Amino acid sequence: MLETRLGRLVRPARRALCVAAVAAAFAGAAAHAEEMTVSVWAGGTGDADMYRIDAIKMAADILSRQEAIKGHELKITVEGKPYTDWDQFKQAVTLAGQAGSGPNIVVTGHEDIASWAQSGLIVPVEDYLDLDAWPISDIYPNLLKIASFNGKIYGLPQDAESRPLFGWIPHLKKIGYSDSDIAALPGRIEKGDYTLYDMLNDARKMQDAGLVQPGYGFYPRVSNGPDYWQFYVAFGGKMQDEKTGRLELDKAALEKMYQFFIDAVKMGVTRKNHIGTPWDQWYTEVATGKAGFWDGGTWHYARYTGKEGLKDFFGSLMFSLIPAGEKGGVANTLTHPLVYLVTKQKDEHLQEVASQLVAIASEPRINALHAIKSAHLGISRSEAHIGFYADDRWTREATERLLPHAVAMPNNTHFGTYWDVMWKGLQTAWQGQSSASDAVNAVASELQGSLGDAIIIN
Amino acid sequence: MGSSRRLGLLFLAPAFVMVVLFFFAPTVLTGVFSFTTMSTSTGIYGGDYFVSEDALRRLASEGEDQLAQQLAGTSYKIDSAGIEAVRVGEGGAALADEIAATLAGQHFADQREAERAIKDLNSRPRSIRALKAVVEQFRRSVAGARFADKAGLYAAVEGAGITLDEAQKEALAGASWSGWHWTVQNFKRMATTPDNARILINTILYVGVTLALFHVGFALVIAIASHYLSETASGIFRGIWLLPRITPSVLFVLLWKWLAWDTGFISRIAALFGAAPRNWMLDTAAHAWVFVVLINGFVGASMGMLIFSSAIKAIPAPLFHAAEVDGASHWQQIRFIILPQLRWPILFVACYQTLSLLASYEQILLSTDGGPGRVTEVWSLAAYHSALQNYAGNLLYGYGAALALVLVVIGVIASLLFLRLFRFKELVTQPRIEI
């Protein structure tokens, strides 16, 4: 009887204890598990470039598994936001960043690093990563340098590319080029033997032969972009003084560059109103032989052979460096790697995790998925040895022919202003609203007024 | 009387708040921003002291070359102060002892060398972030470092063995400040940029032509034409002219682009007559202006049309009946009845649409984006391009605001002129008779 009474008293207490123990166990587990959301915004990202975001998702999975093995439950949710348009993307990142609602990881052009680092919008990934450890130790040093500012590595290269001159082989043949001439052309261009003006002359021949419409002989990029700096460099221009780190404007080189586009219009091989042509129209035209020569990007391979349906890429297109402006000059191409950047957060742990994700996403096998799918070039030595990457003819040939000669834009806070003013000058010269020398003088005057000592004007 | 006044003020309060928040505050902020160096690289909220390469260049250009040279370069020294900081910090005693035993007295020229040395130790921190924190304790240089305040900056410089006098302190603080500061440079730049004179002329041309031809002229034509149609027909007619206004701008401009580009409708039709395809919108400066005026004109004409139509409706019908009995033609009715009655509505539409056109840029942005060769760049679009568009991610808020402030000033002057023209005081005077 007594036992029964005691039992009645003890049983609920025992139950309560059990419930408390289970609850405590769950509470402990819950306290141990860590959940976080990492947002990734990627600029200039179309369907073919989705691995820029997907690579971070793959990295999140790997990092979670690593942490689980160490006894730390980490659940990372990756929220991706691709932007096809650069202007909208840069507005969104900068304005959201100022408002404190920006993403954790940004995929953008390396030229943004200077301004965004200066304002503290991004943090150096170097602060959270071991640079001697793989895969960072395996990334091409020149790409890491492009992702640096003030001697610190702010981002990790997400891809590499370059911007070649393309020529339509069937048209070249019809104006007298033999197969061996065409095969030798990239080499002649590299030596400075075949210049930009030689290219305009060939473009004119294509038009005169009725192979392409007037204005389609040389059919360059249809909007502002890094490509146009290649033409400035082709005439001997420098963007930055290596010694002092200040920006540099070479008026003579810029005038020759502007004059080149004025001459292209005068010769009738480039349209006066070319800038503003819709991109879709441009892609279709260059991939179907409606243009003679044009400057494009290595990633265009995916578009030409994919959406535009170009069957025989290597039989249809000659690709090379951008020719020198004058005989004996230096041919070049520009590489404009996109980089993974980590933004400043209130919780430094988030910055650390984001940096780790970026490092894992840079592992060769993961990066190769993006490189091959989007026709970009790899970022590390090991990537070149992965069969999936090495077997791809385009990435192999483009890397060998172009990358050793690639220049990059400087990471300088004032470069955006310089670029804007250079582009305005080119537009006015191209449209015939001012002569090359007047346009250059206006550029120099505006840069002097706006940048002062930050730029050297020669 | 007192309570009804309070009640009136109470009713007006929401409107007052809206005006302050959405009209007055943005205008004041535009004015404030325009006198600053604000950009993406300076941020909006403040800044810190960042001893960047750019800051050292600025310091050198201000006559402190020697100090700039002293501050350049990085240095890490394994000294007792650093070891003690590691001991009491996250590193712990074991690591501090091992550093003291194996690395004491060593110098490293950069952070990575120092990291490698500590990474080789048995008691090294396991996390990279903790390792970097330990290395930071031995930093004896300031190049590349950021400091929240001047005191931290000066202490770090002194820690690096450099003594600063007051003038040097101020020069260093000024050169390394990463945030914005007050300036009139934006206005100087605006005044000395040769392009801006042309942009101003473009703006006057755009506003004048669009206003005269469409916002007032064409709106008047539609309103008068629809007055002489039957009720149903005039309703349909006016409805059609409302379409550009109610169609989303992006879609509306895209339709124009389809019409105008090389493979578009006009080129296809022109090809039937042997004309080579071309981008009709961007072919020449004249083409671009025609399209810019047409696109904006069709969007803006609807407002004038509605106001003028309502005003014509308000004219007493007997006037028209009497005119018809007297044998007046439609033209005579327009000239002697309609137009005199529309004087105030025309002035109002002209005033309102002038201000509206001065500030509008979205259709131009979407259609020509100021091209070809910036011939259709208007002032508001230039302000947008400066403040919100930059390929290298550095949006120039200060300069963009200065450009926008010019529009605010022009708008205020134009409003005052229009108020005089309207004889606003007469419109709001008390009636002279008791009702």
Distances (CA, A) of A294 to A88, A89, A164: 26, 27, 9
Burial A224-236 (b: 16+ CB within 10 A, else e): bbbbbbbbbbbbb
Cβ neighbours of B88 (radius 10 Å): 10
Q: Which amino acid would we find at residue B265?
A: F
Q: Which of residues 69-98 of A touch B (CB under 8 A)?
A: 86-87, 90-91, 93-94, 98
pTM (2 d.p.):
0.87
Tokens of B334: 């327009």
Helix, strand, or coil here: B74?
coil
Question: Which tens digits make up the pLDDT trace of B208-244?
Answer: 999 999 999 999 999 999 888 888 888 888 888 889 8
Instruction: State residue B432's pLDDT score.
Output: 65
Give dist(CA B54, CA B64) in Å, integer: 14
Question: Which tens digits make up the pLDDT trace of B62-82?
Answer: 889 999 999 998 899 999 999
* Mean pLDDT, rounded, for A307-314: 94
Are B204 and B410 in contact by the 8 Å Cβ rule? The answer is no
- Which residues on adjacent β-strands are paired with residue A167? A293, A318
Residues A371 and A308 in one domain: no
Tokens of B163: 């003594």
A251-266 vs A227-234: helix crossing angle, rounded to 10? 110
Are B386 and B30 in contact by the 8 Å Cβ rule? The answer is no
Q: What is the DSSP secondary-structure string of A301-368?
A: HHHHHTTT--S-HHHHEEEEPBPPSSTT---BEE---EEEEEE--SSHHHHHHHHHHHHHHTSHHHHH
Q: Write the residue in B42, B50, B371 that is nearest to A276 by C-beta.
A: B371
**Mean pLDDT over the full length of chain A:** 91
Q: Which of residues 342-371 of A touch B (CB under 8 A)?
A: 348, 352
Is residue A158 pLDDT above 90, yes or no? yes
Number of A–B residue contacts, CB under 8 Å: 186
Residues A123 and A220 in one domain: no
Residue of B nearest to A131 (CA): B112
Task: Verify whether the Cβ–Cβ distance B42 to A118 is below 8 Å.
Answer: yes
Residues A356 and A316 in one domain: no
Q: Is the dihedral of CA B392, A418, A194, A430 positive or negative?
A: positive
Give dist(CA A409, CA B394) in Å, integer: 15
Question: Looking at residue A53, which CATH number applies to its domain?
Answer: 3.40.190.10
Q: In terms of Cα–Cα distance, which of A374, A382, A221, A396 is closest to A307? A: A374
Give dist(CA A117, CA A99) in Å, integer: 16
Question: Which tens digits make up the pLDDT trace of B247-292?
Answer: 999 999 999 999 988 778 998 999 899 887 788 888 888 999 999 9
Give the domain range for residue A155: 33-161+336-407
**Contact B114/A at CB under 8 A:** no
Q: Model ipTM?
A: 0.86
* Mean pLDDT, rounded, for B7-31: 90
Task: Verify whether the Cβ–Cβ distance B57 to A244 is below 8 Å.
Answer: yes
> Looking at the domain assignment, is residue A16 inside a domain?
no
> Looking at the domain assignment, is residue A340 inside a domain?
yes
Residues A157 and A204 in one domain: no
Sequence-ordered list of residues with C-beta below 8 angstroms from that of A310, at least 6 positions apart, any chain: A287, A288, A304, A316, A317
Q: Which of residues 232-291 of A touch B (CB under 8 A)?
A: 244-246, 271-273, 275-278, 281
Q: Which residue has the higher pLDDT, A99 or A83?
A: A83
* Mean pLDDT, rounded, for B199-205: 95
Is residue A10 pLDDT above 50, yes or no? no
Helix, strand, or coil here: B87?
helix
> Looking at the domain assignment, is residue A10 inside a domain?
no
**Sequence-distant contacts of B163-170: CB under 8 A, at least 24 apart:** B164/B67, B168/B64, B168/B67
Query: Min CA distance, B386 vs chain A (Å)?
Result: 9
Instruction: State residue A11's pLDDT score.
Output: 54
Residues A258 and A360 in one domain: no
Q: In terms of Cα–Cα distance, which of B131, B140, B124 is closest to B77? A: B140
Is residue B131 pLDDT above 70, yes or no? yes
> Looking at the domain assignment, is residue A393 inside a domain?
yes
Is residue B3 pLDDT above 90, yes or no? no
Residues A133 and A145 in one domain: yes
Instruction: State residue A2's pLDDT score.
Output: 40
Q: Give the number of domains in chain A.
A: 2
**Domain boundaries for CATH 1.10.3720.10 within chain B:** 188-427
**Exposure of A430 in the CB half-sphere (CA atoms within 13 A):** 29
Residues A236 and A308 in one domain: yes
Q: Which of residues 21-80 of A touch B (CB under 8 A)?
A: none
**Contact A114/B at CB under 8 A:** yes
> Looking at the domain assignment, is residue A15 inside a domain?
no
On the 0-12 / 13-18 / 19+ scale of CB atoms within 10 A, B146 is: middle
Q: Which residue has the higher pLDDT, A383 or B46?
A: A383
> Looking at the domain assignment, is residue A4 inside a domain?
no
| Spacing of C-alpha B408 from chain mean position | 13
Q: Which of residues 265-284 of B touch A (CB under 8 A)?
A: 276-279, 281-284
The arrangement of secondary structure in B188-427, i.e. its CATH architecture, is Orthogonal Bundle (1.10)
Task: Verify whether the Cβ–Cβ distance B195 to A446 is below 8 Å.
Answer: yes
Q: What is the DSSP letter of B360?
A: -
Q: What is the largest CA-CA distance in chain B?
A: 117
Task: Verify whether the Cβ–Cβ distance A94 to B47 is below 8 Å.
Answer: no
**Contact B178/A at CB under 8 A:** yes
Give dist(CA B1, CA B413) in Å, integer: 37
Cβ neighbours of A204 (radius 10 Å): 19
**Contact A128/B at CB under 8 A:** yes
Q: Which of residues 308-337 of A touch B (CB under 8 A)?
A: none
Q: Write the residue in A129, A152, A273 that is nearest to B144 by C-beta.
A: A152
Residues A73 and A131 in one domain: yes
Instruction: State residue B374's pLDDT score.
Output: 83
Residues A75 and A217 in one domain: no
Residues A154 and A223 in one domain: no
On the 0-12 / 13-18 / 19+ scale of CB atoms within 10 A, A157 is: buried
Residues A424 and A277 in one domain: yes
Residues A197 and A267 in one domain: yes
Q: Which amino acid would we find at residue B354?
A: T
Query: Min CA distance, A180 vs chain B (Å)?
Result: 35
